[in-house]
Amino acid sequence: MLKSTFTAFYRSFVRHPLYALLNLLGLSLGIAVFIALSLFYRFETSYESWSPKLPQIYTIGISFHFPGMTDDTGIGSMGGLLEELKTAYPQTDGTRYWPDSVIVHKGADVFNEQINLVDANFLIFFAVPVVYGDPANALSDPSHVVLSASLARKYFGVTNAVGRTMVLNDEEGLKTYTVSAIVADLPKNTEMKLDILRLLTPQRTALRSNWHHWGSVQLATYLKFKSRTEANALAVQFPAFTDRQAGQSFGPDVKPHKMLELKLIPLADAHLISPKLKAAVISLGVVGIVALALALINYVNLATARAGLRAREVAVRKTLGAAPLALRLQFIFEAMLTLLLAFLVALSFVELSLPLLNSAGGLSLKLDYHADALWIASVLAIVMVAGLVAALYPAFALSAFKPAQVLASSRTPGGGRTAGILRTGLAMVQFTAVAVAFILIMGFLLQIRHIQNADIGFQRSNLMIVNSIRDNAVTQSQRDAFVAGANALPGVSYVTIANAIPGDTSSVNNSNIVRPGQVDSATESPTVNYSIVGPEYFQLLGAKMLVGRVFDVQRGEDQMWDDKTTDKDRVYSVVISRRAARDMGFPTPQAALNQTARFNDHTVRIIGVVEDMRFYNPNEPIPAKLYLFDAHASESVVGMVRYQGLSAPAMREKLQHLWRQIAPAVPFDVTSAADNLDKYYKPERDRTHLFTIGAGIAALIGCIGLYGMAAFNTGRRVREIGVRKVLGASAGRVVGLLLRQFLYPVAIASLIAWPLGWLALERWLSQFDDAIAMPLWVFPVASGVALAIALVTVAGVAFGAASTEPGKALRHE
Amino acid sequence: MTSLIELQNITRLYRSDEVETTALHNISLHIKRGEFVAIMGPSGCGKSTLLNILGTIDRPTSGAYLFTDASGAQQDLARMNEVNLARHRARHLGFIFQSFNLVDDLTIYENIELGLLYRGGVKGGRRPIIEAAMDKVGIGHRARHFPHQLSGGQQQRAAIARAIVGSPDLILADEPTGNLDTENGAQVMQILQTLNQGGATIIMVTHSQSHADQATRQVDILDGQLVASVAQVL
């Protein structure tokens, strides 16, 4: 019996290649999309799973509730939080991770690397895979460093570099360290970069004045609990703990926990803490499921359609004594074989397309048959179970044929009215999905194009950001020399220093601003995001001045900002943004001009209002901005260079040459503003690419299904077509008749897609601060494209059938 | 000769939404082992319905269909469930159709093998049985071909091989020569006669008087009723 089933399966492939190809291609494509997006979903939802302790580890997140600011939860905490927690709750088991930049000296060469200052228990806490060295003691000595295997190879040429020394230059100065352990390279889906680890010492924390400043965020704090209950027990004490520890940090009458909400977040959830990112990952997972569902619908449609063609075989088998159960098992077994084959083909599709997918989606997915065997098996199991459910209907439909009727009739049975309705219904579901996909693809691409080309308040092209300037090793005279030198370069129009940097939030500060007569209250006063900028900053950016003027180093009243001054009577000139003027309650920008306010214990006078500039994520509102002036600012500032008439690489090279002359001991690090900003745009663009690929393939599957259906139904109607032609119908009328049969459900489906597409697109657009208006034209266009594809798909089959000679058609059966 | 089939007052009605058609009316018929019965009658008289009921691929609306197997046990097939009917067909019946009804996707050998597939109990030793059946009808050299590669006569001989491969108690033939030319028709009739002389019971529906004359008995049907049952001297 098994052999007979194999034979039937094999023959159906060999002898009906078109059907077999359509069926296999549709299924394989659907399964391939499902596998690829499952890989993506697994990658995104299994961050930090390299740590065997993951289920027990939580990280601290903070949600700030300041007026005018979004209260999204961010991962990170004040540097000294762990110490305060340990004092209050001595049983606390925690560790910290503080990324910083470091200069590595190797002979005469210098390299920029990321160093992570961690507590001594870090390796044990996370059970970091240690390749060489003793994890318990590797970080006990401040003169030790722990390297990753790849970094050890980079600097020492071997993995086992334990005992070797390396020279590092960071905030603590130039020192020699001994390598005490080597850790394995972590997989890509981690937020941690364990390239260089060093002990976080009290000497280092002493360099930070804000180590215990409630409201600051410096590093990541991790806590470990034996159970969720234990974690929850601590979390409920956070508000009281915050109020105790923060005291009057947010004002005399303000409960600190109302402003700063500490949260305990399972480490496994930390990567997708942003609801928008989580929603994006889930929607791509849904696309995978939809693609699989569409492929299975295809399978059901084609299998039931072909069931009609196999009716005679079924009737013969029944006549020869096959019981319905035996036939059902045969068809289910055939379905399982088809699915298995499709799964194998799908795996090879995924293998072949992963490089393309990774580059289109900015991903690093891979299929490792050895390590992922269990995962692949479970995906196969899901596909097979879903396939089994899908195969039940055709199996029952086939085995239900009455042999006497089938053998007596010369017409191929179609499976009856129910099967016909089912097939039409399923085709409608498919085409609804296809039309929704088209609506969303067009909507997504329009929005992506919009945010890429939108006026963001400044000119992002031809603008270099020299990050090296902010290195701790750079002196004031070197900074000044670089600004002067860059200004003298041909093609350079402006040079300045500032810590308001497009696409860089590393030096973002927020504070209250209070107008005279207003109450100074953390819960009510507007919050501004403030930055320090040098001369010609606004000219350099090409910012639009709404009223007033920009800073002028020649004017005495534009005093250099000095946060530490004790002279409380000094009045500083500030420039604010349109949003800041609005938040401060000025009816127009004009009204804000020359007004004073209290800011950070100083009096400031507004000398100008500039248009809002979008420096950060396009999904988030542009913050209210306050600009302070300091021509020689040193803290966290970068150099900014505006140029014309030469290419980015040429400009880069000139700046690098200059830098090498001024500060050879500090590696040159420059980015363009456009590249810096692109990190906000790229994820959205990448996800749109992924979605477009997935939805495009889903649409292709729908077309394959429709083609199969058209071919089958037309095949069944050959005799009818013959009769109609004998009675005088023209080929055109026959084509019209056949097309109507298919286009009717497709037309209805594309209309059903409108409200669904509207809801999905509206929801997606609502996550952007600067969203396009609902593009109404995409709805009819999506329907039109779906109909056109259906038309082209079916027309070929219909023309073929309509042009058959009637005599041949009538002899057909 | 021992009894094989006894039909008692078999009636078959077809009902659609508005029309009720009587295909067979009160047919009673007794067939012994070793008989070669030809059923004749004009188109639409109910011949094929009768054959379908005899073949258990259709059920009578009323009446009894008693079948006596080789051991002498008798059962009423009109009251048997589908699973047992399928088993009955596999063990006791062989079918030959006017349009051959070979499975297009299977080779001639595999088509004939279908005749054994659902019987059970002959695992391993199928090949010699299949080859013997093919030799009996003279298509041994066509084993690896597909049906569409054969002439009509060869296809019908393959279908006969499929019908006889399981040594059934009864062979049912529905106009087995209807789609064949005279020469091929004669060959098929020759094979059926040889099978009958070897002990096989055959019931054949035919339009051809000359073919009916080669049977041991002729049964005439008209408008769903049995009008004559005449034993013939060959």
Most confidently modeled range among A805-809, B8-12, B41-45:
B8-12
Report yes or no: B117 at the A interface, CB cutoff 8 Å: yes
Contact between chains at A320 and B55 (C-beta distance less than 8 A): no
Q: For residue range A416-431, what is the model confidence (pLDDT) as tens digits?
A: 667 778 778 888 888 8
Lowest mean pLDDT among A46-55, A467-476, A799-808, B94-103: A799-808
Report yes or no: A13 at the B interface, CB cutoff 8 Å: no
State yes or no: pLDDT of A599 exceeds 80: yes
CB contact set of A622 (below 8 Å; sequence gap of 6+): A457, A577, A579, A612, A613, A614, A615, A616, A769
How far is residue A705's CA from residue A685's CA, in Å, rounded to a whole number? 30
**Chain B residues touching A325 at Cβ < 8 A:** 83
Q: Which residue of B lies nearest to A403 if distances are taken between CA atoms?
A: B57
Q: For residue range A12-25, what is the model confidence (pLDDT) as tens digits?
A: 778 778 778 888 89
Q: Which of A489, A484, A534 is nearest to A637 (CA)?
A: A534
Q: Which of A116, A121, A137 is nearest to A198 (CA)?
A: A116
How far is residue A180's CA from residue A189's CA, in Å, rounded to a whole number? 26
State yes or no: pLDDT of B126 exceeds 70: yes
Report yes or no: A399 at the B interface, CB cutoff 8 Å: no
What b/e string do you get for A274-292 counting C-beta neighbours within 10 Å, with b at 16 or more?
A: eebbeebbebbbebbbbbb
Q: Whole-model pTM above 0.90?
A: no
Contact between chains at A12 and B110 (C-beta distance less than 8 A): no
State yes or no: pLDDT of A812 exceeds 70: no
Of A324, A402, A408, the CB nearest to B48: A408
pLDDT at A813: 44
State yes or no: pLDDT of A281 exceeds 80: yes
Name the amino acid, one letter, at A622. Answer: I
State yes or no: pLDDT of B225 exceeds 60: yes
pLDDT at A806: 64
Q: CA A542, A544, A548, A554: dihedral to nearest 10 degrees?
A: 0
Of A4, A316, A323, the CB nearest to B101: A316
CB pairs under 8 A between A and B: 76
Q: How many CA atoms lie within 13 A of A629 on its CB side?
A: 27
Report yes or no: B101 at the A interface, CB cutoff 8 Å: yes
pLDDT at B121: 66
Lowest mean pLDDT among A210-224, A634-648, A681-695, B72-86: A681-695
Most confidently modeled range among A86-90, A284-288, B149-153:
A86-90
Scan for tokens 């001054």, then name that residue: A565
User: For all residues of chain A together, what is the average pLDDT?
Assistant: 87
pLDDT at A417: 67
**Chain B residues touching A319 at Cβ < 8 A:** 55, 57, 89, 95, 101
Report yes or no: B36 at the A interface, CB cutoff 8 Å: no
For residue A464, the cross-strand partners are A641, A672
Which percentage of chain A shows pLDDT scores above 90?
Answer: 45
Q: Which residue of B lies nearest to A16 if distances are taken between CA atoms?
A: B105
How far is residue A177's CA from residue A163's CA, in Å, rounded to a whole number? 10
Contact between chains at A322 and B162 (C-beta distance less than 8 A): no
State yes or no: pLDDT of A304 exceeds 80: no
First CA to last CA distance, chain A: 30
Report yes or no: A317 at the B interface, CB cutoff 8 Å: yes
Residue A311 CA to its chain's centroid (Å): 50
Report yes or no: A703 at the B interface, CB cutoff 8 Å: no
A598: number of Cβ within 10 Å = 16
Residue B216 CA to its chain's centroid (Å): 16
**For the residues A486-508, what does the mean pLDDT come to?**
90
**Chain B residues touching A417 at Cβ < 8 A:** none
Contact between chains at B95 and A319 (C-beta distance less than 8 A): yes
Contact between chains at B106 and A15 (C-beta distance less than 8 A): no
Contact between chains at B106 and A8 (C-beta distance less than 8 A): yes
How far is residue B10's CA from residue B80's CA, in Å, rounded to a whole number? 15
Lowest mean pLDDT among A512-526, A527-541, A620-634: A512-526
State yes or no: pLDDT of A127 exceeds 80: yes
Of A15, A317, A321, the CB nearest to B87: A321
Q: Which residue of B lies nearest to A316 if distances are taken between CA atoms?
A: B101
Q: For residue range A736-745, what is the model confidence (pLDDT) as tens digits?
A: 888 887 778 8
pLDDT at A409: 62
Q: Which of A211, A148, A210 is nearest to A179 (CA)?
A: A148
Of A312, A326, A403, the CB nearest to B118: A326
The tokens describing A236, both together, are 């409920």
* Helices (H), ranges, A157-270: 202-206, 228-235, 238-246, 256-259, 267-270
The tokens describing A425, both together, are 């219904």
Write the DSSP string, B66-89. Answer: EEE-TTS-EEEGGG--HHHHHHHH
Residues A680/A616, Cβ–Cβ less than 8 Å: yes
